[in-house]
Structure 1
Amino acid sequence: MTLDLPVTTDEILTTDVHLVQSWADLNALKQNGARTAIVAAEGSYVTDSEGNKLIDGIGGLWCVNVGHKRAEIIDAVTDQLNTLDFYSTFYSFTHPAAAALAEKLAQLAPGNLNKVHFGNSGSVANETAVRVLHHYYKRLGRPKKRMVLSRHGAYHGSTHLAIAMTTPGYSEGWHKAEGVVHHLAKPHFWREGDGMTEPEFLDSLMADMKASIESIGAENIACFIGEPIMGAGGVIVPPAGYHRRAAELCARYDIKVISDEVVTSFGRLGHFFASRDLFDFQPDIITTAKGLTSGYQPLSATIFADEVHEVISAPGAMFTHGMTYSGHPAAAAAGLANIALMERDDLPGQVQTTGKLFENTLRGLADLDIVGEVRGSHFMMGIELVKDKATKAMFDPDLNIGMRVAQAAQKRGLVARPLGNILILSPVLILTPAQIAEVGGILRDSIAEVMDDLAA
């Protein structure tokens, strides 16, 4: 069977009017706003409907870690569908692919994180983590421990609870789970340091956390959730030692730690998981998605400690949580093939070199007049554009400065993600040194073009 899909740009965009895009200005799209139709992909590149070949500088959406059109993953998914297209992991049922992937994740995850629950998105993984901990404390006879500590600048998803854990600006105009989440101070030294040294700023963040815990009452707090590096909040890297000290503080108050590694896992920072290997802390739960299958299938995982599982699996209660597609056979097969490919090619090890080259290439753009801060690590980078470097004053939002630079970059063959006054780069992890140099050149030329336009 051949699918009858639209082919030309006009056909695609005419058909697309029925599609509700995610995180988009729907009114602008309704008024025939600019859209790009991606029709093919291979390696580090995507192709649009006009035949333009573009470096995938956002990795699909933080996720196509091993690159596009990898036969190893495509063949594994095809073989799985030809063997077992679908069966659920509900009730007492299991199947080989989900079982094998759970075992592999337990091997890769740090410490005693040996139990895995599958979902289909990072939002679901984070909701699962909190729901599991609510159930955990209820089974311990401590049902009041329900509050979640998150942070201003966080992004943990867009479902009802996940968006409540996300920085408040992202839920403006929408309802969300109320009375469950408290947001701690944003750990962004460059913007929030207020004349302090970085160690002093770290002390102030820990003081804020401690004061919040004591104000709310530790007996009412279930967990702290944090991304090792904040992603959609602007690629914010906390001060050195932040996560270790936060975990130590939480342990003193019997508060569980959830590390949201939806973006930072599976090689993006040079490790399968970054929490312990890069940030020196041991969480009670790790959530992951995106790079777990490199985006070839929708799959997420909530990986929790043996101790948590012992409580929730004790006699006397069902585990009444899960989704139809939890551990879908094709998605699990994609995850297994993706991990096997990464291990065979030592992709995390490669990223420890090429990712640093990418990071340093982008940091070299800091000499441009409107580049305020280049931040991030390895293949997870953000460029904050400012009107005045000395004062860090931001451009008027109506200028849409990030979008203007992104559009200039796309004309030159690079997909970058605008986020207000920030440009985000999270490319496929297989970029060569030559491609990294090309990305740096495109960004420099694109920022310079926008600077010239502003000066005109």
Structure 2
Amino acid sequence: MSADTNLDIAALDKAHALHPWTHFESFVRDGPLVIERGSGCSLWDSDGREYLDAVGGLWCTNIGLGRREMAETIAAQAEKLAFSNTFVDMTNGPSALLSAKLAELAPGDLNHVHLTTGGSTAVDSAYRMVAYYQRCSGRPDKTHVIARDSSYHGSSFATISIGKRSGDKMPEFEYLSEGIHHVSAPDCYRAIGERSEAEFCDDLVVEFEAKINEIGPDKVGGFFAEPIQASGGVVVPPKGYLKRMAEVCQKHDILFIADEVVTGFGRLGHWFASWDEFGVQPDIICCAKGLSSGYQPIGAMIFSDRIWDAMQGDRWYASGFTYAGHPVACAAALKNIEIIEREGLLAHATKVGQYFEDRLGQLENLPMVGDVRGRKLMLCVENVADKATKALLPDDLDVGKRIADAAEARGLMVRPMGHLNVMSPPLVITQSQVDFVAETLELAIKEVTDQLVRDGIRIG
């Protein structure tokens, strides 16, 4: 693009586009960063500057950008059959093949697939499925759901209400509250206190049981849980927590819904993290993001034989989306899965992910880094004012954004979230690129720490 065109794109965007999670004051002041192209783990902006994208788009560019065979697959399918709806009794080849492939990859008896347009619509469908399944099973009042503090499950009306992440609930919007409940996040860094990890886990399970009894076991129909809470701060649960929560669900006929929109398709080195990483057999898995590595918008709700069997009979399942089972998106997802299998990207993610954990873990030696947490290619740095007390810096300092800006100036993109910096790079990242991420982020944190100290802010 010419320089004039670059300016036109930024100006047009600034004048007309409403971005997700826009902060109006800063957007009006600074305008957008225009990204022109991408290849592998790298992005180039409209001025030709290169960045290593350690954000992975938004947790999603698993196989990396610029894959010619993905582009060719998408083009070929668009030419052959660009669209065909999947309502009632219609289907198409890519939709049916993808459903079968997801049933093959999913753990246990999760043999049935409801395709959607992304993560929010997958979780939204699971929310609706809770009430549908329970009523089909003769439990009409069992429609309440429980999620966790610091959770994020999507941005539809239902899913943003199910989530409870700081900064998501704005007073200008309305949210659902009836029938949606929350229990504590399994945050070992912030909430464990003087307890051991095992004691903390015990307390979380006791709290869950108490919440079910408070609502009424005959009213609670579903429990929503990310295996690792992603946008809520990359919260890794204590050992045994998810399995014990699932056992409580089984005891009370509560569906365990694993939100694997982020953790699915290799981020932790597995197709799905629920069983392989945490030993939990969910009733429903919601996925998106890595399902197509961002090449096409697509999601899926994968559910069990038990749910499928309960729904049979003279009734309608009146829920779905125009673009569910979109043949081009499904073809892209199938090719994406083929690439992950063919190139051994799950094993690579496990190996390089462990190296990523080790390298970023060294940042805990810095005065402002309170915690480095996560697993494999899903990590987070928590910045604090005092490592001993875990006290945070004032919100108005926006320390995560300052660090992200300092890293960006050095050619690295990390995601700022309040006092956090979050990373979820493509599965194809190399050890040398991990070194660049760790070294550059360290320089950025040191630069911001020095700036704050010069401004009279006490660190440590």
Normalising by the smaller structure, the TM-score range is over 0.9
Cross-structure match for 1:131: 128
> Contact 1:121–1:300 (CA<8 Å) still a contact in 2?
yes
Native 8 Å contact 2:123 2:154 kept in 1: yes
Aligned residues: 451
Q: Find the counterpart in structure 2 of residue 268 from structure 1.
A: 267
Name the aligned partner's letter for residue 201 of structure 1.
Answer: F
Compute the displacement of 1:168 (Å). 5.4
Cα drift, residue 5 of structure 1: 10
Alignment of 1:111-150 (within 5 A): 111-150=108-147
Q: Report the AA paired with residue 449 of structure 2.
A: M
CA separation in 1, counterparts of 2:107 and 2:87? Answer: 27
Q: Does 1:190 align with 2:194?
A: no
The match for 1:414 among 412, 415, 426 is: 412
- TM value normalised by structure 1: 0.97
Note if 1:319 corresponds to 2:317: yes
How many angstroms apart in 1 are the aligned matches of 2:41 and 2:165? 34
- Deviation string, structure 1 residues 157-203 (Cα, Å, up to 9, x no partner): 11111011111531231211221211011110110112101100000
Deviations 1:219-262 (A, max 9, x none): 10111010000011011001011110000011011111000000
Identity over the aligned pairs, expressed in percent?
40
Question: Residue 218 of structure 1 aligns to a residue in which SS?
Answer: coil
Question: After superposition, what is the alpha-carbon deviation per residue over 1:18-40, rounded to whole angstroms, capped at 9, x for unaligned?
Answer: 0000012023213x325311110
Pair 1:91-2:88 in alignment? yes
**Structure 1 residues 343 and 7, CA gap change in structure 2 (3 angstroms):** farther
- Give the match for residue 248 of structure 2: 249
Q: Deviations over 1:393-432 (max 9, x none)?
A: 0000010100000000001111110000000011111111
* C-alpha RMSD of the superposition: 1.2
The CA deviation at 1:10 is: 1.9
What is the alpha-carbon distance in structure 1 between the residues aligned to residue 239 and residue 34 of structure 2?
41
User: SS state of the match for residue 87, structure 2?
Assistant: coil
SS at match of 2:381: strand
SS of the residue aligned with 2:218? helix
CA deviations over 1:261-284 (Å, ceiling 9, x no partner): 000010000001110000111000
Residue 20 of structure 2 is matched in structure 1 by 22
Q: Secondary structure at the match of 2:236?
A: coil
Higher alpha-carbon deviation: 68-77 or 52-61: 68-77
Alignment partner, residue 376 of structure 1: 374
Match of 1:351 in 2: 349
SS in 2 for 1:429: coil
Output aligned runs, 1:361-372, within 5 Å: 361-372=359-370
What does residue 394 of structure 2 align with? 396
Alignment check: 8 A CA contact 2:152 2:165 kept? no
Query: Which residue pairs with 1:439 in the alignment?
Result: 437
TM-score normalised by length of structure 2? 0.96
Q: Which runs of 5+ in 1 are unaligned?
A: none
Alignment-mate amino acid for residue 292 of structure 2: T
Partners in 2 of 1:148 and 1:172 — Cα distance? Answer: 22
Equivalent position of 2:220 in the other structure: 221
Q: Give the corresponding residue for 2:335.
A: 337
Question: Contact 1:259–1:275 at 8 Å: present in 2 too?
Answer: yes
Residue aligning to 1:72 = 69
Query: Residue 53 of structure 1 aligns with which residue?
Result: 50
Give the unaligned 5+ runs of structure 2: 455-460
- Taking the aligned partners of 2:214 and 2:453, their CA distance within structure 1 comes to 50
1:277-288 equivalences under 5 Å are: 277-288=276-287
Mapped pair 1:293 → 2:300: no
